[in-house]
Homo-oligomer: A and B are copies of this chain.
Amino acid sequence: MNGAQALMKTLADAGITVCFSNPGTSEMHFVAALDSEPRMRAVLTLFEGVATGAADGYARMTGKPAATLLHLGCGLGNGLANLHNARKGKVPVVNIIGDHATYHVPLDAQLQSDIETVARNVSPGFVRTSQRTAELCHDAVEAITAARGLPGQVATLILPADVSWGEGGTPCPPAPAPTPQAVDSATLQAIAEAIRSDGKCALLLGGQALQEPALLAAARIAARCGVKLFCEVFPTRLPRGAGLPTIERIAYLAELASVQLTGFDHLILVDAKAPVSFFAYPGKRSELVPAGCRVHTLATPAQDAVASLELLASALHATQTQPVLQAPQRPTRPRGRLSAAKVCKAVAAIMPERAIIIDEAITSGLLLGLMTQGAPRHDLLTLTGGAIGQGLPNAVGAAIACPDRPVIALIGDGSAMYTLQALWTLAREQLNVTTIIFNNASYSVLNVELDRVGAGRAGPKARAQLDLHGPVLDFVQLAQGMGVSACRAATASDFCQALDKALTQPGPHLIEAVVPQSLSASKRRLLPWMLRALPSLPPSVAMALKRKIAP
Chain A interface (Cβ < 8 Å from any Cβ of B): 21, 23-26, 28-29, 31-32, 34-36, 40, 42, 44, 46-47, 49, 73-75, 77-78, 80-81, 84, 88, 100-101, 103-104, 107-111, 113-114, 117-118, 120-122, 161-162, 165, 233-234, 273, 276-280, 282, 286-287, 383-387, 389, 414, 417-418, 420-421, 424, 427-428, 445-446, 449-450, 452-456, 458-462, 464-466, 468, 470-478, 480-483
Q: Cβ of B78 and Cβ of A81 under 8 Å apart?
A: yes
Q: Cβ of B23 and Cβ of A464 under 8 Å apart?
A: no
CA distance A109 to B252 in the complex (A): 12
Q: Cβ of A280 and Cβ of B104 under 8 Å apart?
A: yes
Give min CB distance, A237 to chain B, whole Å: 16
A-B contact pairs, 16 of them (CB 8 A): A32-B458, A42-B461, A74-B385, A78-B78, A78-B389, A100-B279, A107-B277, A110-B384, A111-B278, A114-B120, A162-B280, A473-B482, A475-B481, A476-B481, A477-B477, A477-B481
Chain B hits for A473, CB < 8 A: 424, 481-483
Q: A118-B121, A279-B100 are in contact. Are A28 and B455 (CB under 8 A)?
A: yes
Q: Cβ of B446 and Cβ of A471 under 8 Å apart?
A: no
Q: Which residue of B lies closest to A107 (CB)?
A: B276
Query: Which residue from B114, B462, B481 sits with its C-beta under 8 Å from A32?
Result: B462
Give min CB distance, A462 to chain B, whole Å: 5
Q: A103-B286, A483-B471 are in contact. Are A28 and B74 (CB under 8 A)?
A: no
Q: Which residue of B lies closest to A461 (CB)?
A: B34
Chain B hits for A385, CB < 8 A: 74, 110-111
Chain B hits for A29, CB < 8 A: 453, 455
Chain B hits for A456, CB < 8 A: 32
Give min CB distance, A492 to chain B, whole Å: 24
Q: Which residue of B lies closest to A108 (CB)?
A: B273
CA distance A476 to B386 in the complex (A): 32
Q: Cβ of A418 and Cβ of B78 under 8 Å apart?
A: yes
Given contacts A77-B77, A471-B482, 10 further A-B contacts (CB under 8 A): A23-B465, A31-B450, A31-B455, A31-B466, A42-B461, A47-B417, A73-B80, A161-B279, A165-B455, A428-B471
Q: Cβ of A73 and Cβ of B77 under 8 Å apart?
A: no
Q: Cβ of A21 and Cβ of B465 under 8 Å apart?
A: yes
8 closest cross-chain pairs (CB), A and B: A471-B483, A35-B459, A77-B80, A477-B481, A101-B280, A74-B387, A32-B455, A478-B481
CA distance A161 to B279 in the complex (A): 9
Give min CB distance, A101 to chain B, whole Å: 4
CA distance A293 to B200 in the complex (A): 81
Q: Cβ of A111 and Cβ of B78 under 8 Å apart?
A: no
Q: Cβ of B104 and Cβ of A286 under 8 Å apart?
A: yes
CA distance A108 to B287 in the complex (A): 11
CA distance A458 to B74 in the complex (A): 26
CA distance A234 to B111 in the complex (A): 12
CA distance A533 to B386 in the complex (A): 54
Q: Which residue of B lies closest to A277 (CB)?
A: B109
CA distance A391 to B42 in the complex (A): 28
CA distance A472 to B278 in the complex (A): 41
Q: A428-B471, A478-B481 are in contact. Are A161 and B453 (CB under 8 A)?
A: yes
Q: Cβ of B103 and Cβ of A113 under 8 Å apart?
A: no
Chain B hits for A475, CB < 8 A: 481
Query: Which residue from B110, B234, B474 sits with its C-beta under 8 Å from A110?
Result: B234
Q: Cβ of A465 and Cβ of B276 under 8 Å apart?
A: no
Chain B hits for A103, CB < 8 A: 280, 286
Q: Cβ of B35 and Cβ of A460 under 8 Å apart?
A: yes
Q: Cβ of A107 and Cβ of B286 under 8 Å apart?
A: yes
Indicate the member of A104, A108, A475 with the most B CB atoms within 10 Å.
Answer: A104
CA distance A460 to B478 in the complex (A): 29
Query: Which residue from B28, B46, B88, B476 sits with its C-beta under 8 Å from A453?
Result: B28
Indicate the member of A47, A278, A386, A472 with the most B CB atoms within 10 Å.
Answer: A386
Q: Which residue of B lies closest to A78 (CB)?
A: B81
Q: Cβ of B446 and Cβ of A23 under 8 Å apart?
A: yes
Chain B hits for A162, CB < 8 A: 280, 282
Q: A46-B417, A461-B34 are in contact. Are A446 and B24 (CB under 8 A)?
A: yes
CA distance A114 to B117 in the complex (A): 10
Q: Cβ of A73 and Cβ of B121 under 8 Å apart?
A: yes
Q: Cβ of B80 and Cβ of A84 under 8 Å apart?
A: no
Chain B hits for A121, CB < 8 A: 73, 77, 113-114, 117-118
CA distance A473 to B282 in the complex (A): 47
Q: Cβ of A25 and Cβ of B104 under 8 Å apart?
A: no
Query: Which residue from B24, B104, B418, B482 sits with its C-beta under 8 Å from A478?
Result: B482
Q: Cβ of B462 and Cβ of A35 under 8 Å apart?
A: yes
CA distance A418 to B420 in the complex (A): 10
CA distance A299 to B547 in the complex (A): 67
Give min CB distance, A120 to chain B, whole Å: 6
Chain B hits for A464, CB < 8 A: 42, 44
CA distance A21 to B473 in the complex (A): 18
Q: Which residue of B lies closest to A232 (CB)?
A: B110
Chain B hits for A454, CB < 8 A: 165
Query: Which residue from B117, B277, B414 sits with its C-beta under 8 Å from A104?
Result: B277
Q: Cβ of B450 and Cβ of A279 under 8 Å apart?
A: no
